[in-house]
Structure 1
Amino acid sequence: MFVLAHLSDPHLGPMPSARIRDLAGKRAIGYMNWHRRRKTFHRTEVLSRIVNDIKAHHPDHIAVTGDILNIALPGEFAPSRVWLDTVGPAHDVTFVPGNHDAYVRKAAREWHSHWGDFMKGDTTSADQFPFVRRRGDIALIGLSSAITTAPFMATGKIGAPQLHALPELLDKLAADGMFRVILIHHPPVTKPAHRFKRLMDAAKFRDVLRRHGAELVLHGHDHIHSLVMLDGPSGKIPAVGVPSASAIGGEGELAGYNLYAIAKAGNGWRCEMTSRGLTHGSDLIVDLGKQELAAA
């Protein structure tokens, strides 16, 4: 059995000091928003409790699906790498970026030097998406939906090159008998009311999944526990979201994460999801429920 943990949207605090020239454009709005609201909802001590709880369950691998930063200030990158190192070694932790990690256009220049070890495929460079990491019978497929957007927008886009490469990867991994887990920040289905946060090429992404399949899609972005069943070539594909791993309030749910116990079952797979997190009125991290996602 392989145990995979999934957390997302840590939004690491505290916000580092910023120079006036660093706060041009969208960053100025995000900086004010952090100090007025978000710093009260995203708490470092809560994130530490979540990570410690994950480690207490001894997962074989940990997936982090983006938004490690807030407004991609230069001073945010080095602490984010330190935090990733505390989660685990790069071999055992996979990271894909989110929209806050691409808050300004020049932010992506820093990804390779700070996070490259955590978003590098087994046979590809750290700046290549999609990438594949094989761990036993599990294949982790990293996609980037992180793009720089206008103020008050949080949309994402996979883009034609990744969508073009993905089918061959999925087919090859299926032929090798792998349990395919796609990691992406933005969800493949967005409510109409959240159109300013949507994955813009979600329909094309879902079409790739419908034709080529996957066993599991993990994402963040919406800051809630969610489960949507997508169409696959021979059955449904669960797409699962988690809350921010540091949240104690705000627009989303309280901090939480998921564990997936994955094992072969006959000609198929068994995948049991356990959700854990905070509940109102308590500082304890508890089981929030279990659900079977796939069976032979």
Structure 2
Amino acid sequence: MFRFAHLTDPHVGPLPRPALKHLLGKRITGYVNWRRGRRDAHDMDLLASLVSDLREQAPDHIICTGDVCNLGLASEWPSSRIFLDGLGTPETVTFVPGNHDAYVYGSLEGLMAALDPYAVGDEPGLTRFPFVRRRGPVAFVGLSSAIPTAPFVASGKLGRTQVKHAEALLQALAPEPLLRVVLIHHPPHVGGAPAGRNLVDAERFEAMIGRVGADLVIHGHNHTGSLAMLVGPDDRPVPVVGAPSASARGGTLTHRAGYHLFRVHDEDEGRFRISAELRGLGPDGAFGSQGPVDISGKAPGRRLSARARA
């Protein structure tokens, strides 16, 4: 059995004290928000406990779908690298960025230079995203929805070129005896987040999945556990699973610090099935299993219309 874990939005801290010259434009509003509450919403002791629980599960691979940074400061890049190094080697850990990693122009490029080994495919490509990493019976397809935005905006975008390349990759992978798992930060379905926080070209992503399909899509951004069901070719359900923030304090079960542990079951030669479990902070303050997540397609979820797939 192959197992992989998905964590997201750790917002690694503490935030280094920025120089005044770095608090221009969007960063000044972000810094004020961090001082007023965000720094208390993300607990590094909880994050350490989550990572400890994750290590005990010893998954074969670990996915982090972004927001290792808070304000996209250059001083945050080393701590982001230390965090990923603490999860495992670049061979066993895969990263795609989030909106806080691309907080202002230049932030994303600096971070990706620091995290390069964790966000490259098995084969050299003309562009960084999308990329493909084959691990066991799974092909992980990494996308980037991270773009710099105006103050008080946290939306993302894939762009026509990236979606086109992702479609070609997913199509090429379809005949292979493996599962195709798409990695992205923003919820990639229409209605997945409110305007100003959404993936602005979610409809384009949905239409692409409707044409070529995937076996699973995992994302972060909303800081809550979630499930949606898109529809692929031949009306096959494609589960879209969002994980809570890996460092979030309190709140309801789906808002507390947690991660998903996925198990790939070998049903038959060349045929596989994925099951999912939420692990994280329970009501008693201890980390552990919080129960299964039904990604079979029988659970309720938003379904992509046939018109959108055309």
Range into which the TM-score falls when normalised by the shorter chain: over 0.9
Counterpart-to-counterpart distance in 1, 2:109 and 2:293 = 40
Structure 1 runs, 4 residues or longer, greater than 4 Å off: none
Residue in structure 2 matched with residue 291 of structure 1 by the alignment: 293
Residue in structure 1 matched with residue 150 of structure 2 by the alignment: 150
3-state DSSP of counterpart to 1:168 = helix
Shift of 1:166: 1.2
- What letter matches 1:278 in structure 2? L
Residue in structure 2 matched with residue 55 of structure 1 by the alignment: 55
CA RMSD of aligned residues (A): 1.8
Residue in structure 2 matched with residue 226 of structure 1 by the alignment: 226
3-state DSSP of counterpart to 1:15 = coil
Residue in structure 1 matched with residue 173 of structure 2 by the alignment: 173
Shift of 1:290: 1.0
Residues 73 and 228 of structure 1, relative CA distance in 2, 3 Å threshold = same
3-state DSSP of counterpart to 1:132 = strand
Residue in structure 2 matched with residue 108 of structure 1 by the alignment: 108
Residue in structure 2 matched with residue 238 of structure 1 by the alignment: 239
Residue in structure 2 matched with residue 248 of structure 1 by the alignment: 249
Residue in structure 1 matched with residue 86 of structure 2 by the alignment: 86
Residue in structure 2 matched with residue 30 of structure 1 by the alignment: 30
Shift of 1:127: 5.8
3-state DSSP of counterpart to 2:84 = helix
Counterpart contact for 2:72–2:108, Cα < 8 Å: no
Counterpart-to-counterpart distance in 2, 1:116 and 1:192 = 29
- 5+ residue gaps, structure 1, are none
Aligned length: 294
Residue among 260, 263, 268 paired with 1:261: 263
Residue in structure 2 matched with residue 202 of structure 1 by the alignment: 202
Counterpart contact for 2:62–2:93, Cα < 8 Å: yes
- What letter matches 2:258 in structure 1? G
Identity value in percent: 44
Residue in structure 2 matched with residue 74 of structure 1 by the alignment: 74
Shift of 1:272: 1.0
After superposition, the C-alpha distances for 1:94-126 in whole angstroms (9 at most, x for unaligned) are 000000000001112213321110000000259
Counterpart contact for 1:269–1:294, Cα < 8 Å: no
Counterpart-to-counterpart distance in 2, 1:44 and 1:145 = 25
Counterpart contact for 2:190–2:203, Cα < 8 Å: no
Shift of 1:190: 5.0
- What letter matches 1:293 in structure 2? I
Does 1:64 find its partner at 2:64?
Answer: yes
- What letter matches 2:89 in structure 1? P
- Identify the range of structure 1 (249-258 vs 134-143) with the bigger mean alpha-carbon deviation: 249-258
Counterpart-to-counterpart distance in 2, 1:2 and 1:183 = 17
Counterpart-to-counterpart distance in 1, 2:202 and 2:273 = 27
Residue in structure 1 matched with residue 304 of structure 2 by the alignment: none
Within a 5 Å distance, the mapping from 1:123-162 to structure 2 comes to 123-124=123-124, 128-162=128-162
Give the alignment's TM-score, normalised by structure 1: 0.95
After superposition, the C-alpha distances for 1:220-259 in whole angstroms (9 at most, x for unaligned) are 0001110101111131000000110001047981101000
- What letter matches 1:290 in structure 2? P
3-state DSSP of counterpart to 1:177 = coil
Shift of 1:269: 2.4
Shift of 1:17: 1.3
